[in-house]
Structure 1
Amino acid sequence: MSMLSLFIFFLLAFAMTYFMRTYALKKNIIDNPNERSSHNVPTPRGGGVAVVCSYLLALAVLIYNQQLTLHIGLTLIAAGFVIALLGFLDDHGHINSMLRLAIHFLVAISVVISLGGFSEVTAFNGLVLGFSANIIAVLFLVWLLNLYNFMDGINGIASVEAITTVVSMAILYYVLNTTLNSDILWLLAACVFGFLLWNFPKAKIFMGDACSGFLGLTLGILALIALKENLALFCAWIICLGVFVVDATYTLIKRVLSGYKMYDAHRSHSYQILSRKWGSHTPVTLAVAAINLLWLLPLAYYTVTQPLAYPEFMVLVAYLPLILIAMKLKAGHPDA
Structure 2
Amino acid sequence: MSIIGIILTSFVISFLLTGYMRHYALKKNIIDNPNERSSHTIPTPRGGGVSIVITFLFVLVGLMLSRELDWSTGLILTAAGFGIAVLGFLDDHGHINSMLRLAIHFVIAIGVVFFLGGFSEVTLFSGNVQLGWLANIIAVLFLVWLLNLYNFMDGINGIASIEAITTTLSLAAVYLLLNIHLSSELLLILASSVLGFVLWNFPKARIFMGDAGSGFLGLILGILALIALKTDIAFFCAWIICLGVFIVDATFTLIRRVSNGHKMYDAHRSHAYQYASRKYNSHTKVTIAVLFINIFWLFPMAYLAAQKVLMPEVILLMAYIPLILLAVFLGAGKTENA
TM range (shorter): over 0.9
Partner Cα separation in structure 1 for residue 37 and residue 218 of structure 2: 20
Q: Please state how far the C-alpha of 1:335 moved relative to its aligned partner.
A: 2.6
Q: Please state how far the C-alpha of 1:175 moved relative to its aligned partner.
A: 1.1
AA at the equivalent of 1:182: S
Which digits, 9 at most, give the CA deviation of each residue in 1:206-242, with x for residues without a partner? 0000010000000000000000110000000000000
Match of 2:34 in 1: 33
AA at the equivalent of 1:282: T
Match of 1:314 in 2: 315
Match of 2:151 in 1: 149
Which digits, 9 at most, give the CA deviation of each residue in 1:93-122, with x for residues without a partner? 000000000000000000000000000111
Q: Please state how far the C-alpha of 1:270 moved relative to its aligned partner.
A: 0.6
AA at the equivalent of 1:68: L
Matches within 5 A, 1:83-98: 83-98=84-99
Q: Please state how far the C-alpha of 1:307 moved relative to its aligned partner.
A: 4.7
Match of 1:54 in 2: 55
Q: TM-score, normalised by structure 1?
A: 0.98
Match of 2:11 in 1: 10
- Identify which of 187, 196, 199 aligns with 2:198: 196
Match of 1:261 in 2: 263
Match of 2:332 in 1: 331
Matches within 5 A, 1:218-229: 218-229=220-231
SS of residue in 1 equivalent to 2:151: helix
Aligned residues: 335
Match of 1:45 in 2: 46
- The answer on whether the counterparts of 1:112 and 1:138 sit within 8 Å (CA) in structure 2 is yes
Match of 2:293 in 1: 291
- Identify which of 131, 136, 141 aligns with 2:138: 136
- The answer on whether the counterparts of 1:268 and 1:332 sit within 8 Å (CA) in structure 2 is yes
Partner Cα separation in structure 1 for residue 22 and residue 272 of structure 2: 29
Partner Cα separation in structure 2 for residue 39 and residue 271 of structure 1: 13
Partner Cα separation in structure 1 for residue 35 and residue 140 of structure 2: 32
Match of 2:245 in 1: 243
- The answer on whether the counterparts of 1:108 and 1:138 sit within 8 Å (CA) in structure 2 is yes
Does residue 23 of structure 1 match 2:31? no
Which digits, 9 at most, give the CA deviation of each residue in 1:129-178, with x for residues without a partner? 11000000000000000000000000000000000000000000101211
AA at the equivalent of 1:31: D
**Quick check: 272-281 or 1-10, which moved more?**
1-10
Q: Please state how far the C-alpha of 1:329 moved relative to its aligned partner.
A: 1.3
Partner Cα separation in structure 1 for residue 307 and residue 71 of structure 2: 30
- The answer on whether the counterparts of 1:148 and 1:212 sit within 8 Å (CA) in structure 2 is yes
Partner Cα separation in structure 2 for residue 333 and residue 90 of structure 1: 28
Which digits, 9 at most, give the CA deviation of each residue in 1:174-222, with x for residues without a partner? 0121111111100000000000000000000000000100000000000
Match of 1:280 in 2: 282
SS of residue in 2 equivalent to 1:198: coil
AA at the equivalent of 2:59: A
- Identify which of 145, 163, 166 aligns with 1:164: 166
- The answer on whether the counterparts of 1:35 and 1:265 sit within 8 Å (CA) in structure 2 is no
Q: Please state how far the C-alpha of 1:128 moved relative to its aligned partner.
A: 1.4
- The answer on whether the counterparts of 2:76 and 2:115 sit within 8 Å (CA) in structure 1 is yes
Partner Cα separation in structure 1 for residue 34 and residue 199 of structure 2: 22
Q: Please state how far the C-alpha of 1:35 moved relative to its aligned partner.
A: 2.5
SS of residue in 2 equivalent to 1:119: coil
SS of residue in 2 equivalent to 1:35: coil
Does residue 186 of structure 1 match 2:188? yes
Match of 1:66 in 2: 67
Which digits, 9 at most, give the CA deviation of each residue in 1:38-69, with x for residues without a partner? 00100000000000000000111111221211
Partner Cα separation in structure 2 for residue 35 and residue 255 of structure 1: 18
Q: Please state how far the C-alpha of 1:295 moved relative to its aligned partner.
A: 0.1
Partner Cα separation in structure 1 for residue 273 and residue 255 of structure 2: 16
- The answer on whether the counterparts of 2:52 and 2:197 sit within 8 Å (CA) in structure 1 is yes
SS of residue in 1 equivalent to 2:200: helix
AA at the equivalent of 2:243: L
Partner Cα separation in structure 1 for residue 246 and residue 93 of structure 2: 26
SS of residue in 1 equivalent to 2:199: helix
- The answer on whether the counterparts of 1:47 and 1:195 sit within 8 Å (CA) in structure 2 is yes
SS of residue in 2 equivalent to 1:232: helix
AA at the equivalent of 2:62: V
Partner Cα separation in structure 2 for residue 35 and residue 251 of structure 1: 18
AA at the equivalent of 1:145: L
Q: Please state how far the C-alpha of 1:2 moved relative to its aligned partner.
A: 2.6
Moved over 3 A (4+): none
Partner Cα separation in structure 2 for residue 177 and residue 65 of structure 1: 24
- The answer on whether the counterparts of 2:3 and 2:185 sit within 8 Å (CA) in structure 1 is no
SS of residue in 2 equivalent to 1:153: coil
Partner Cα separation in structure 2 for residue 335 and residue 7 of structure 1: 44
